[in-house]
């Protein structure tokens, strides 16, 4: 522990400088305009893995963005940890809401502000530096494989194919991921589940062309109004989702599991204050922690149609659109829920409009084991570096590839995230506490140490 702390402290500034360099690449996977930058980011990651001491470093091409692979096999009889992360980031807009530019990392109040600071560059880079530390101090206790992809934020379509084709190369005993949140440095926690995702786009068409809203208004259904009504009908008065069959397969938690989950520190007043909302909203009968971690939800991510430019144009639009996501919990299935949505949405549409539902990417929910050697190793590592036992929580976000690792490789995952829910992931002013970055680098070698020890 002393040795770890000393290495981190001796290399503090360099670690930060390198992360800043990584954060300066606008590696936005969703926008083809940034293709060159995304590819350069992959090069940078590969280079840093090499310098840190990885062998077999390869920028593996896919039909989309490449996957950066690298490993260090010290002894084939020792256990192997597969570290997964992603070097791509979400688009940065709306740009005008950033206090400092998203790709010019800036420190304010001991926090790094940049797109990707927490999700996931700041977090996967902790693993690269922890690996360097173990190599330099001769303390790597197990084999390690890195797989850092560039399409997580757009659904990881090509990673699934890569994993299927590289089962032997990726063979490991556990997957270790830092791409989730913890409660706080004072209350370290480990996420023990992730929600799945169904994502659809809907298009509602009324008349065959935009119309003068005075000449035709009153005679023809306005697709924007119809869309608003259709969307509003997707929740009932208790904020349950109304799609028939939606909850049929949902695993209900036992009373004990619910009690345990609600033991996590949570301050509703502070939660509301932080978001500046007068009250919270959600499915009746469940606490906030349950609603975000263990219950499925349906959200409108974007809604548009008609005139949205400057000033007022009087028009009855021909079309209206929305992007709708559903977060899923065990044992729901993404394709099945997408189908239920589609059938329901087409069924409830009045004759005055036509609706089209187009599925986007999806992903399956997961629950990670809390009785495994790997989970115990994470608990011990956190206990040692934070001085406190981690609290198990359920994450509301999705990392679709985790279910795939289980299915394709038969390996379970440990979600050892060091970000905070309030780090503005996918929002303007994304940030990562410098303290969390260093704490992560300090905790990761302990995970490897205990995982190797407990595996004996
Ligand atoms: N790192 C996040 C997921 C996350 C964040 C999980 C915080 C738990 C806590 C990941 O990069 C992400 O944003 N995933 C997407 C899904 C993907 C298919 C675009 C998500 O959750 O919306
Ligand atoms: Mn992420
Ligand atoms: Mn993300």
Contact 418, 433 (CB under 8 A): no
Nearest listed ligand to the Cα of residue 416: 1
> Is 361 a residue whose pLDDT tops 90?
no
For 219, the token pair is: 């005679």
Annotation: CATH topology of 196-250+296-363: Alpha-Beta Plaits (3.30.70)
In the reported structure, the alpha carbon of residue 90 is separated from the centroid of ligand 2 by a whole-number distance in angstroms of 9
- Contact (Cβ atoms closer than 8 angstroms) between residue 440 and residue 6: no
* C-alpha distances in Å from residue 22, one per residue of 40, 404, 441: 10, 27, 16
Which two structure tokens, joined as six digits, stand for 242?
């109304």
DSSP assignment string, 272-310: HHHHT-SS----TTS-HHHHHHTS-EEEEEEEEES--SS
Determine if the peptide bond prior to 120 is cis (ω within 30°).
Answer: yes
How long, in residues, is the chain?
456
Closest CA to 441 of 20, 2, 5: 5
Ligand 1: which atom is nearest the Cα of residue 362? Answer: 18
- Residue 428 tokens read as 């303007």
Tell me the mean pLDDT in the region 241-251: 98
Confidence at residue 1, expressed as pLDDT on a 0 to 100 scale:
86
Distance between CA 396 and CA 194 in Å, rounded?
6
Higher pLDDT, 1 or 368: 368
Best of 117, 118, 367, 398 for a ligand 1 pocket test (most atoms within 8 Å of beta carbon) = 398
By percentage, how much of the chain surpasses pLDDT 90?
Answer: 99
SS3 358: strand
pLDDT tens, 309-335? 999 999 999 999 999 999 999 999 999
Percent of the chain predicted with pLDDT > 70: 100
Asked whether residue 31 carries a pLDDT value surpassing 90, the answer given is yes
CB-based contacts of 392: which residues, under 8 Å, 6+ apart?
189, 190, 191, 192, 260, 370
CB-count burial class (<10 Å; 0-12, 13-18, 19+) for 30? middle
What pLDDT is attached to residue 101? 98
Phi-psi category of residue 253: left, alpha or beta, with phi > 0 → left and psi -120 to 50 → alpha: beta
Question: What is the predicted pLDDT for the residue at 402?
Answer: 96
Please list, in sequence order, all residues whose beta carbon lies within 8 angstroms of the beta carbon of residue 21, skipping any fewer than 6 positions away.
Answer: 44
**Does any ligand 1 atom lie closer than 6 A to the CB of residue 363?**
yes
- β-sheet bridge partners, residue 208: none
365 lines ligand 1 (CB under 6 A): no
Instruction: Quote the CA–CA distance of 191 and 227 in Å, as a whole number.
Output: 36
Distance CA 284, CA 195 (A): 19
152 lines ligand 1 (CB under 6 A): yes
Residues sharing a CB contact under 8 Å with residue 207, sequence separation 6 or more, in sequence order = 216, 220, 316, 318
The CATH code belonging to domain 2-194+365-454 is 3.40.630.10
What is d(CA 292, CA 296) in angstroms, rounded to the nearest whole number?
8
The CA angle 339-363-417, to the nearest 5 degrees, is 150
Q: In a mutational test of the pocket of ligand 1, which residue from 325, 397, 430, 431 has the highest number of ligand atoms less than 8 Å from its CB?
A: 397
Q: Strand order in 111-113's β-sheet?
A: 106-108, 111-113, 431-433
Q: Give phi and psi for 109, each to the nearest 5.
A: 55, 40
Of all protein residues, the one whose alpha carbon is nearest to atom 6 of ligand 1 is 397
Q: Do 105 and 113 meet the contact criterion of CB atoms below 8 Å apart? A: yes
The residues assigned a catalytic role are: 88, 152
Choose which residue among 292, 361, 399 to substitute to test ligand 1 binding: the one with the highest number of ligand atoms within 8 A of its C-beta: 399
How many A from CA of 248 to the centre of ligand 3?
29
Q: What is the DSSP letter of 209?
A: S
From 455, 437, 430, 413, select the one nearest 175 (Cα to Cα).
413
Residue 412 reports pLDDT greater than 90: yes
374 neighbors 166 (Cβ within 8 angstroms)? no
| Average pLDDT value over all residues in the chain | 97
- Name the nearest CA neighbour of 7 among 441, 450, 448, 455: 441
pLDDT band at 344 (very low <50, low <70, confident <90, very high): very high
Tens digit of each residue's pLDDT (9 = 90 or more) over 208-233:
999 999 999 999 999 999 999 999 99
In this predicted model, what pLDDT tens digit does every residue of 260-306 receive, in sequence order? 999 999 999 999 999 999 999 999 999 999 999 999 999 999 999 99
CA distances from 111 to 179, 185, 428, 441, 446 (A): 17, 14, 14, 16, 24
Q: How far is CA 285 from CA 143, 152, 215, 240, 280, in A?
A: 46, 33, 48, 10, 13
Mean pLDDT of all residues in 5-10: 97
- Asked if 387 contacts 82 with a C-beta cutoff of 8 angstroms, the reply is no
Domain boundaries, the chain: 2-194+365-454, 196-250+296-363
Per-residue pLDDT at 328? 98
Dist CA 380 CA 190 (whole Å) = 12
Q: Whole-angstrom Cα distance, residue 194 to residue 177?
A: 12
pTM given for the model: 0.95
Residue 3 is predicted with a pLDDT of: 94
How confident is the model over 127-175, as pLDDT tens digits? 999 999 999 999 999 999 999 999 999 999 999 999 999 999 999 999 9
Residues 6+ apart with CB under 8 A from 365: 193, 194, 195, 196, 328, 329, 330, 331, 332, 398, 403
């Amino acid at each position: 522990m002393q040795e770890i702390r000393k290495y981190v402290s001796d290399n503090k500034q360099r670690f930060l400088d390198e992360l800043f360099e990584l954060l300066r690449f606008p590696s936005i996977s969703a926008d083809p305009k940034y293709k060159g930058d995304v590819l350069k980011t992959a090069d940078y990651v590969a280079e840093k893995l090499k310098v840190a001491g990885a062998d077999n470093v390869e920028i593996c091409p896919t039909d989309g963005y490449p996957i950066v692979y690298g490993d260090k096999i010290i002894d084939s009889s020792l256990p192997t940890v597969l570290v997964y992360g992603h070097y791509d980031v979400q688009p940065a807009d709306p740009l005008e809401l950033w206090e400092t530019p998203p790709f010019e990392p800036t420190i304010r109040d001991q926090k790094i502000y940049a797109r990707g600071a927490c999700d996931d560059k700041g977090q996967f880079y902790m693993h690269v530096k922890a690996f360097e530390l173990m190599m330099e101090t001769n303390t790597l206790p197990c084999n390690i494989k890195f797989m850092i992809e560039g399409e997580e934020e757009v659904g990881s379509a090509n990673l699934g194919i890569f994993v299927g084709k590289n089962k032997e190369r990726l063979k490991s005993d556990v997957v270790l991921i830092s791409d989730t949140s913890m409660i706080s440095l004072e209350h370290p926690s480990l996420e023990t589940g992730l929600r799945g995702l169904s994502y659809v786009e809907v298009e509602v068409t009324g008349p065959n062309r935009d119309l003068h809203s005075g000449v035709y208004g009153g005679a023809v259904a306005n697709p924007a109004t119809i869309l608003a009504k259709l969307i509003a009908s997707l929740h009932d008065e208790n904020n349950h989702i109304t799609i028939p069959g939606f909850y049929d397969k949902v695993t209900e938690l036992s009373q004990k599991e619910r009690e345990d989950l609600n033991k996590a520190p949570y301050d509703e007043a502070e939660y509301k204050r932080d978001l500046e909302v007068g009250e919270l909203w959600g499915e009746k009968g469940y606490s906030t922690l349950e609603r975000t971690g263990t219950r499925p939800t349906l959200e409108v991510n974007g809604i548009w149609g008609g005139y949205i430019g400057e000033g007022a144009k009087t028009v009855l639009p021909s079309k209206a659109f929305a992007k709708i996501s559903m977060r899923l919990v065990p044992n729901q299935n993404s394709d099945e829920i997408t189908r239920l949505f589609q059938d329901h949405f087409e069924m409830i549409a009045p004759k005055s409009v036509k609706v089209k539902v187009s599925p986007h990417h999806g992903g399956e929910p997961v629950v990670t084991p809390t009785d495994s050697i790997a989970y115990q190793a994470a608990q011990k590592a956190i206990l040692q570096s934070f001085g406190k036992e981690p609290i198990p929580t359920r994450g509301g976000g999705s990392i679709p590839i985790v279910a795939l690792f289980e299915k394709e490789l038969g390996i379970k995952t440990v979600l050892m995230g060091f970000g905070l829910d309030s780090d503005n992931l996918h929002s303007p002013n994304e940030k990562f506490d410098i303290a969390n970055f260093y704490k992560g680098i300090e905790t990761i070698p302990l995970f490897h140490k205990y995982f190797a020890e407990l595996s004996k």
